[in-house]
Structure 1
């Protein structure tokens, strides 16, 4: 099976590439390989790679910058998605599209269901929500939408790597404790996307690692495990702060836990793991990577 991944440098695209097998070929394409604003360019890329399914791991994810860079956010998160959907629909090719918890406003206090009314609170969420709508309107019979949250990986910029850097440099940190969600290791998210493509899963689904945390909880766990594994030399004070004390250009959902009920049936072949266990696994892999680099010196 040939799966074309839209995205080349992002953390999810990188994790997807690592999971290529003799049975599942993964081709990652970037802006130099495909023009997402030209349906002919998209069609040529699909034909050139004899594509059976597409995984769209490309998105405008700069949440704060999107508040002023509105046009570009909607171009990449909505217009480009519609173009992909058109080509996939015309060629009967399955498309798996990765979306976000930011399509919800965060005002619930119970996990968001896949069919809950969307109500994004910022440009990033609005653009991703519109991308979902355009995809379903254009290629509902061939599409699978996977919403996720708080994604991190060995590759790229993310909360875990940022925390490790700051914890090694700063005497103390203040981390937001009143935003609640679920961390997600991109490796398992990649497995889920591939499973959806291979098994022709349709509809909207939610995927995160199991469990719930605040950003403060997440940061505390990162430090505890990193010190235990020797990635950090010492622990520093981590203080809980409120969102109102750390204002950003874009508003974030205060509660964005996603209900994952559909996984029991539609994704029965993918293992769900608690976020802390996944974090430990990622830090082990990071440690091994660092040791490998040292051995080559």
Structure 2
């Protein structure tokens, strides 16, 4: 069956791949970025969604500047809470399924085992608190919803840790990378595929989604250097050195441990996402193809 799918934040790194995935599946996709839709304008959300009558809305648009949010609290809440409410209310009016993209930042990062979907949340940053508030509005205002929490996202269309490392590895003689924060990288192509698969079901609820396996940022940087070195033309010169979070103080505290257990993916019979290093290799191949064009 062909569905009408609306994607907010369509120009972002995840939104771009979500649009591409649904289009590849033969669906009618309305890709909305801030130029086409101001999610903080309730009337515009209502009119746009009512006119398109989507079966599925994937809400990728968000305020994601984690450090800036600490001093720009009003804007973070306006986008992540008010904007999400506007999308949720309009989605419910047309009986659309709503997929809300959330984050590992809803947890405090003090766990010693992977976070499950039903563990207590305890965000420590304005960004995390605003995303959790968005989750609660989706749960209370919609009857057909999926909340997908993800972490350490990287994709070809946007800025991210992998791209930054590729640039710095060639420019710097030495590079210090944090080795005391642990998590799971997530490739947008794999996440978009899960979003698409899930949206065609009625397996509503909260999902934790990332590529399989865990690493620290330093271990992730090591893998980036090793895998990129196998590609022609890439000559990393930087020597990687592990360091502590304390050596790089940031306005917003980073979770020490943000590994998420994929309990809902397993219990709902969905295929697990591939290992993060395998996903990294696929990303590097996609990036080199893009650069060759």
TM-score, normalisation: structure 2: 0.95
Greater displacement, 190-199 / 71-80: 190-199
| Residues 1:191 and 2:193 are matched in the alignment | yes
Asked if 1 retains the 8 angstrom alpha-carbon contact of 2:152 and 2:183, the reply is yes
Decide which of 260, 263, 267 is 1:261's aligned counterpart: 263
Distance 1:223 1:173 in 2: 11
Q: Aligned ranges for residues 125-136 of structure 1 at < 5 Å?
A: 125-136=128-139
Distance 2:110 2:34 in 1: 37
Q: Give the Cα–Cα distance (whole angstroms) in 2 for the partners of residues 271 and 261 of structure 1.
A: 10
TM-score for both structures, normalised by structure 1: 0.94
| Corresponding residue for residue 233 of structure 1 | 235
Which residue matches 1:280?
281
Counterpart residue number, 2:75: 72
- Give the unaligned 5+ runs of structure 1: 293-297
- Structure 2 unmatched ranges of 5 or more: none
Residues 79-128 of structure 1: CA distance to partner in whole angstroms, max 9, x if unpaired? 11111111112221110000000000001010001111110111111111
**Structure 1 residue ranges (4+ consecutive) displaced by more than 6 angstroms after TM superposition:** none
The separation in 2 between residues aligned to 1:130 and 1:163, in whole angstroms, is: 32
Counterpart of 1:210 (choices 189, 212, 220) is 212
The answer as to whether partners of 1:96 and 1:143 remain within 8 angstroms in 2 is: yes
Aligned to 2:20: 18
Contact 2:171 2:238 in 1 (8 A): no
Whether contact under 8 Å (2:266, 2:272) holds in the other structure is no
Q: CA RMSD in A?
A: 1.3
Compared CA separation, residues 103 and 22, structure 1 to 2 (3 A): closer
SS of residue paired to 2:229: helix
Q: Kindly state the Cα deviation for residue 235 of structure 1 after the two structures are TM-superposed.
A: 4.3
1:252 aligns with 2:254: yes
Q: 1:22 to 1:237 in 2, by over 3 A?
A: closer
Q: Structure 1 pair 226/22, CA: closer, same or farther in 2 (3 Å)?
A: closer
Task: Give the match's secondary structure for 1:146.
Answer: strand
